[in-house]
Amino acid sequence: MNDNSKPVLRFAPSPTGMLHIGGARTALFNWLYARHTGGRFVLRIEDTDRIRSTPQAVAAILNGLTWLGLDWDEEPIYQFARADRHREVAEKLLAEGKAYRCYATPEELTSMREEQRKNGKPVRYDGRWRDRDPADAPLGVPYAVRLKARQGGETVVHDVIQGDVTFANAQLDDMILLRSDGNPTYMLAVVVDDFDMGITHIIRGDDHLNNAARQMQIIEAMGWPAPIYGHVPLIHGPDGAKLSKRHGAQAVEEYRDMGYLPETMRNYLLRLGWSHGNDEIIPTEQAIEWFNLEAIGKSPARLDFKKLENLNAHYIREKSDAVLVDEIAAWIGRETPPKTLSDLARARLIKAMPPLKERAKTMGELAGSAAFLFDDGPRTLDDKAAKILTAEGRATLAAYLAAVAGAPWTAEALEEKAKALAEEKSIKLGAVAQPIRAGLTGRTTSPPIFAMLDVLGEAESLARLKAFTD
Ligand code: GLU
């Protein structure tokens, strides 16, 4: 069972959509802290909203976390399945006089609120059933169970990020624990689950800071230990405004589909709100070693796509050639229709990877720049390549083919032949190399072209280039 000396952290998403990058960052911070301390990281799917929660969203969240490499230590807990336990706690509070039955009808509450608004008063439950004799209870009227919250004094959330945040209890009304249909509220469910799961640290978005004060009231009423809270400022767009659709991608899977690597995302999300001096490149192993709650920033971090791209280029370069070939295979496997890599293509890619990976900022760029190695046969020219293979370009190509006939098929020898031809014709080496590049790859940019002639081999190279010399 629990090793009580170790922290237990959780990620508690509501499965109503994709895994949002804000949620992914929350998961990452909790995961890193668990890994840093040797504690546990657990998942709780908060599926109590039966209308908005969907199995597809649960799958999207679990897949997103898996893709990001954030593993969890136990079977996920599903909150809705624990409703009986939540009710049990509400009953206990009732029995102890720490909660009470409220028979106010919805109509009554609506007019109470209207009255408060009209009088410029804060809108909150006025405690009308708090001290009433239960004998007054109307027969057959459904009731809600409300917490008998402390009315005077303050509730202080000791937050490792925000410092002490004080709420006057007078501002917090007697919140509902069980609705009149007998269903537990979210606020009750969270507290009971966190306690039962032995959660020691709650790191989450600062949109939950007010909830923390309310949740602490329930914790106090139950006499449970309070967890350590850390409310992380939300992520903002590059312009400093709250993150929204107009800033672009929001879902983790969109970042995957744009060609960002999981290790890039881990590093990037870490830096959105946590810092270690001026370090920008912080691989996960290092992050696990360094991560602490104290260095989480107090002000909102801004998305920075340039930084994301630079990090991705870095992690692409860092990956082994063999792994990158697998990543390319996975990438083209997600295309419609899905593509696969032949053994020949894999062998070529391994050989060509050192220069290919030097220039790619995303997996899409890498796969695109490697595509000329996937299959055999003449290339389809893009517009720029077509402009190179004019009559003049084709004549140069033909002269080059004549020059390499019988030459050893190595990058060095093939480059020598091109230099000699350029000299002979008094043109630049580029004027020879570009037609070769265009014919061989269908593009005007590629890794060093003589090395690529070598990677493709003599027969395939000649077949491709001859297609543009007639
Ligand atoms: N389910 C909540 C959400 O997705 C998080 C609750 C919590 O972390 O306490 O926003």
How many CA atoms are closer than 13 Å to the CA of 418, on its beta-carbon side? 22
431's CB contacts (< 8 A; 6+ apart) are 396, 422, 425
Instruction: Return the residue whose CA atom lies nearest to atom 6 of ligand 1.
Output: 12
Lowest mean pLDDT among 131-140, 215-224, 360-369: 131-140
Looking from the CA of residue 194, the nearest atom of ligand 1 is 9
Section 303-323 average pLDDT: 97
Calculate how far, in angstroms, residue 37's C-alpha sits from the geometric centre of ligand 1: 23
Report residue 4's pLDDT band, with 50, 70 and 90 as the boundaries: confident
Calculate how far, in angstroms, residue 193's C-alpha sits from the geometric centre of ligand 1: 12
Calculate how far, in angstroms, residue 182's C-alpha sits from the geometric centre of ligand 1: 22
Phi, psi angle pair for 105, to nearest 5° = -80, 160
* Paired tokens of 153: 């004094």
Which secondary structure element, helix H or strand E, spans residue 9, and what is its range?
strand 8-11
Nearest CA-CA partner of 268 in 328, 207, 327, 310 = 310
Q: Looking at residue 248, what is its pLDDT?
A: 84
Calculate how far, in angstroms, residue 110's C-alpha sits from the geometric centre of ligand 1: 28
Calculate how far, in angstroms, residue 386's C-alpha sits from the geometric centre of ligand 1: 55
pLDDT at 309 over 90: yes
Question: Given the DSSP bridges, would you call strands 201-205 and 163-168 parallel, antiparallel or unpaired?
Answer: unpaired
pLDDT tens, residue by residue, 59-90 = 999 999 999 999 999 999 999 999 999 999 99
Phi, psi angle pair for 204, to nearest 5° = -155, 175
pLDDT at 162 over 90: yes
Q: Looking at residue 245, what is its pLDDT?
A: 84
pLDDT tens, residue by residue, 23-58 = 999 999 999 999 999 999 999 999 999 999 999 999
Residues contacting ligand 1 via CB (< 6 Å):
12-14, 46, 190, 204, 208
The CA–CA distances, whole Å, from 373 to 79, 120, 381 equal 50, 72, 15
> In this structure, which amino acid lies at residue 23?
G
Mutate which of 11, 31, 46 for ligand 1? The one with the most ligand atoms within 8 Å of its CB, which is: 46
Angle value at C-alpha 104, between 101 and 107, nearest 5 degrees: 155
Angle value at C-alpha 21, between 18 and 22, nearest 5 degrees: 110
Q: For residues 400 and 380, give the distance between their C-alpha atoms in angstroms, rounded to a whole number.
A: 21
Looking from the CA of residue 46, the nearest atom of ligand 1 is 1
Is the torsion defined by CA of 235, 237, 240, 246 positive or negative? negative
Q: For residues 392 and 427, give the distance between their C-alpha atoms in angstroms, rounded to a whole number.
A: 12
Please report, in angstroms and rounded to a whole number, the separation of the first and last CA atoms in the chain.
76
The total of other beta-carbon atoms located within 10 Å of residue 308's CB is 23
Q: For residues 108 and 90, give the distance between their C-alpha atoms in angstroms, rounded to a whole number.
A: 23
User: Is 245 designated active site?
Assistant: yes
Section 168-180 average pLDDT: 94
pLDDT: is 151 or 291 the higher one? 291
Looking from the CA of residue 26, the nearest atom of ligand 1 is 8
* Paired tokens of 293: 């709650």
Q: Looking at residue 1, what is its pLDDT?
A: 43
Calculate how far, in angstroms, residue 45's C-alpha sits from the geometric centre of ligand 1: 9
**In this structure, are residues 178 and 146 in contact, taking their beta carbons and an 8 Å threshold?**
no
Q: Looking at residue 3, what is its pLDDT?
A: 62
pLDDT tens, residue by residue, 324-356 = 999 999 999 999 999 999 999 999 999 999 999
Q: Which of 6, 118, 148, 245 is catalytic?
A: 245
Q: For residues 227 and 224, give the distance between their C-alpha atoms in angstroms, rounded to a whole number.
A: 9
Instruction: Return the residue whose CA atom lies nearest to atom 7 of ligand 1.
Output: 12
Cis status, amide bond into 227, omega within 30 of 0: no
